[in-house]
Structure 1
Amino acid sequence: MTNQPAKTNWKYLEPSPNSWRKQLYLKGTRIKASVIYSDMIVNEMSEADALYNWDFPLEAIHEIIEYCQTHQELLQSEALEERRRLEAKGVIIS
């Protein structure tokens, strides 16, 4: 299997200029791609379920899945950073 360069042009995803996060958000929303992806995993949603639940185009759902699957390290590091920030504010996470 060959290593392919990471995709950088996304039709439905964009960075948030007002966030410390580097992960991408669904264009025109404040919804992180990882929120939609994790919702699909946790709730065992098919693509059809996600379409119904989130009301986004199928192409957007495909793009979210591709992005999250190819950026796991970034998503995990940001989840850890978010936890650290919350704990620093005294929020107890179990």
Structure 2
Amino acid sequence: MSIKAGTQYMHLETRPGSNYRQLFLKGRRIRAAVVDEAVHGPDPSTPEEFASDYQIPLEAVLEALDYAAQNQALIQLERDREAADIRARGLDRASSA
């Protein structure tokens, strides 16, 4: 569940004080998992489109995708923790407005 030994990323960094252990795009509040979900999710964009939309280097997007692929267990753990927090706070229920 940790970063693969020996892998160094030029465009990714830890975020001190974050509740997330996964890496973020340098200088941005964008987690690697967010990039992965944008490219592989239900309404996917290409890595080139993501890079253009967020004005970041394509290499940063490709690093985030590589990182997410190599750290799926950590990312899933953090997704599960986030979902449990949402349920515990009752934010998963439809409001009756």
Instruction: Pick the TM interval, shorter chain.
Output: 0.7 to 0.9
* 8 Å CA contact retained: 1:6, 1:70: no
Q: Which amino acid aligns with 1:51?
A: A
Per-residue displacement from partner, 1:12-36 (whole Å, max 9, x unpaired)?
A: 1111111121111111111111111
Whole-angstrom distance in 2 between the partners of 1:13 and 1:90: 33
Q: Which amino acid aligns with 2:22?
A: Q
Whole-angstrom distance in 1 between the partners of 2:67 and 2:46: 17
The answer for the alignment partner of 1:38 in structure 2 is 37
Structure 1: stretches of 5+ with no match in the other structure: none
The answer for the alignment partner of 2:81 in structure 1 is 81
Q: Which amino acid aligns with 2:32?
A: A
The answer for the alignment partner of 2:24 in structure 1 is 25
TM-score by length of 1: 0.82
TM-score by length of 2: 0.80
* Identity across matched positions, percent: 31
What SS class does the counterpart of residue 16 from structure 1 fall into?
coil
Superposition CA RMSD, Å: 1.9
How far is the alpha carbon of 1:93 from its aligned partner?
Answer: 6.1
The answer for the alignment partner of 1:58 in structure 2 is 58
Query: Which of the pair has the greater relative contact order for Cα pairs under 8 Å at 6+ separation?
Result: 2
The size of the alignment, in residue pairs, is 90
* 8 Å CA contact retained: 1:23, 1:32: yes
Structure 2: stretches of 5+ with no match in the other structure: none
